[in-house]
């Protein structure tokens, strides 16, 4: 499930599999990757390209290369600018795409010319590149493209305005609003989504009307936009949308209700936790976290037995984030549940909640007969920063018969020793730990804590040597910064 990809318990196994695959790569494949990401080699290849097909092939390699810094490769940038003015529109469009990916705003004027090209594919490519570039100076030109003859260009122009992210007014705004009545649903959906990002309260009535669009894509975009604009007047309509037979409409309504943060949505969202669809249950849980009502806690523990392991894994974060001391007796009681999934969730939730009264119960669970409970107890002690028990956790890492427990305990012992006055600061310190598993664990938990302050810290590991950590950081930044 897209929303719940933060499986703390098994990340070490994933790393092991990834490293095993990486270890099996042939030397020739390694050299190919280096060639495809080395700007100097690519410049040579571009200069020696013979014919249109080879130029396009090299441009594809440049576009697929790792993130580059244009200021460090002036010759390659200059060559790309020459191609941006090529007579061949395919080559020019591809060069524009590369320069946009590199954040070269000097390419914007050429892309604006391209967005008026007779070929609709070129216009679409230019509009897409301008979305990547996010240059506010092109808003008027992109808004003009929302009236393009080609529906794909119109839709992309709306999406581009949303990506640029600056408020639009006047003629540009009127053009986007007009697209809510476009004959093509993809254009209507793109317009609704754009207004959620660059529109204003004046657009709320039109977006509420779009909730009833017969095409689910339009209704979904309108719901998400109403959530972004925090429109409380739309709450009754969004609650009604929870009864839809279409998963996408229900999930969008849940997301919007979570953003709007209206107490009227709590009961309907609690009911959605019993929905037969896994994604609907997961999004309801996430919406309830955003609203922040601790009444969710008993319901959350019911989901510790959910058929979806990703939802099971998310339960302790829900409990920990919404924790109130009045729920401690409930959680301590659940530590004695006959279901190991419930014991695991209860144990780890005390670590997320930073409830120090959970130290002794979690220590006892290090001897639990079920391996997932031992893993959760060790991880909780790590989050609690119980340095005094780091040696006991390390012994678990050496002696436990289950390899997953040993791996989790080893990481937990390192997390327990991280410096800092609180969990957030210690996890930020964990991003700089020499062991990749600790960095990955820190990035994952920071994201799950749903604290936007983590965004700058996660940016520091976007160039980590481990792909799993880079991906975790990107996912965390996207999730935490999505508002």
Region 338-361 average pLDDT:
94
* pLDDT at res. 483: 54
Region 459-463 average pLDDT:
95
Retrieve residue 358's tokens: 């959970």
173-174-175 Cα angle (round to 5):
90
Residue labelled with tokens 């609704």: 192
Q: Is residue 343 pLDDT above 50, yes or no?
A: yes
Residues in Cβ contact with 105 at an 8 Å cutoff, skipping those fewer than 6 apart: 133, 135, 137
317-322-324 Cα angle (round to 5):
125
Contact of 264 with 282, CB cutoff 8 Å: no
**Which of residues 80 and 154 earns the better pLDDT score?**
154
* pLDDT at res. 455: 96
* CA–CA gap between residue 63 and residue 100 (Å, rounded): 10
* CA–CA gap between residue 180 and residue 202 (Å, rounded): 14
Q: Is residue 412 pLDDT above 80, yes or no?
A: yes
Contact of 168 with 139, CB cutoff 8 Å: yes
What is the enclosing helix (H) or strand (E) of 337? none
Residue labelled with tokens 């549940």: 337
| Whether pTM exceeds 0.85 | no
* CA–CA gap between residue 137 and residue 29 (Å, rounded): 42
Which is nearest to 115 in space by CA: 136, 143, 78, 135? 143
Q: Is residue 377 pLDDT above 60, yes or no?
A: yes
Contact of 6 with 440, CB cutoff 8 Å: no
Q: Is residue 386 pLDDT above 80, yes or no?
A: no
Q: What residue ranges of the chain are covered by domains with CATH 1.25.40?
A: 29-133
**CATH fold for domain 306-402:** 1.25.10
Region 10-25 average pLDDT:
32
Residue labelled with tokens 């959970």: 358
**Which of residues 59 and 222 earns the better pLDDT score?**
222
* CA–CA gap between residue 135 and residue 232 (Å, rounded): 32
Region 424-446 average pLDDT:
96
Under CATH, which number does the domain 29-133 receive? 1.25.40
Q: What residue ranges of the chain are covered by domains with CATH 1.25.10.10?
A: 306-402
């Amino acid at each position: 499930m897209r929303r719940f990809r933060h499986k703390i318990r098994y990340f070490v196994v994933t790393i092991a599999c990834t490293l095993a695959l990486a270890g099996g790569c042939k030397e020739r494949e390694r050299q190919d990757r280096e060639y495809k990401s080395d700007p100097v080699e690519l410049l040579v290849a571009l200069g020696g390209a013979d014919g249109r097909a080879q130029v396009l092939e090299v441009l594809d390699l440049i576009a697929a290369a790792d993130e580059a810094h244009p200021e460090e490769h002036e010759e390659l940038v200059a060559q790309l600018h020459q191609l941006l003015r090529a007579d061949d529109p395919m080559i020019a469009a591809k060069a524009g795409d590369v320069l946009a990916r590199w954040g070269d705003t000097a390419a914007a004027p050429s892309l604006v010319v391209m967005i008026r090209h007779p070929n609709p594919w070129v216009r679409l490519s230019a509009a897409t590149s301008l979305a990547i570039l996010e240059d506010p100076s092109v808003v008027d030109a992109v808004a003009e493209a929302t009236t393009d003859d080609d529906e794909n260009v119109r839709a992309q122009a709306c999406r581009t305005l949303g990506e640029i992210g600056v408020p639009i007014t006047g003629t540009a705004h009127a053009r986007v609003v007009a697209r809510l009545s476009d004959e093509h649903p993809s254009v209507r959906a793109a317009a609704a989504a754009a207004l959620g990002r660059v529109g204003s309260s004046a657009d709320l009535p039109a977006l509420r009307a779009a909730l009833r669009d017969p095409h689910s894509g339009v209704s979904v975009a309108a719901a998400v936009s109403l959530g972004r604009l925090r429109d409380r007047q739309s709450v009754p309509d969004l609650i009604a949308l929870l009864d839809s037979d279409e998963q996408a409409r229900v999930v969008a309504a849940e997301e919007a209700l979570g953003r709007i943060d209206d107490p009227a949505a709590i009961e309907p969202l609690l009911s959605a936790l019993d929905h037969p669809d896994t994604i609907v249950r997961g999004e309801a849980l996430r919406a309830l976290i955003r609203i922040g009502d601790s009444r969710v806690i008993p319901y959350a523990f019911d989901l510790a037995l959910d058929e979806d392991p990703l939802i099971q894994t998310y339960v302790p974060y829900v409990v920990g984030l919404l924790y109130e001391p009045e729920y401690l007796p409930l959680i301590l009681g659940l530590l004695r549940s006959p279901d190991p999934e419930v014991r695991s969730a209860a144990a780890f939730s005390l670590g997320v909640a930073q409830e120090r009264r959970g130290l002794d119960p979690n220590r006892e669970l290090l001897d639990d007969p079920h391996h997932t409970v031992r893993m959760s107890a060790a991880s909780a002690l790590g989050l609690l920063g119980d340095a005094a028990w780091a040696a006991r956790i390390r012994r678990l890492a050496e002696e436990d018969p289950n390899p997953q427990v040993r791996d989790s305990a080893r990481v937990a012992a390192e997390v327990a020793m991280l410096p800092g006055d609180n969990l957030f600061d210690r996890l930020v310190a964990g991003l700089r730990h020499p062991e990749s598993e600790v960095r990955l664990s820190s990035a994952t938990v920071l994201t799950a804590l749903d604290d936007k302050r983590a965004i700058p810290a996660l940016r520091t590991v976007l160039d980590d040597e481990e792909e799993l950590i880079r991906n975790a950081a990107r996912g965390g930044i996207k999730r935490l910064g999505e508002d």
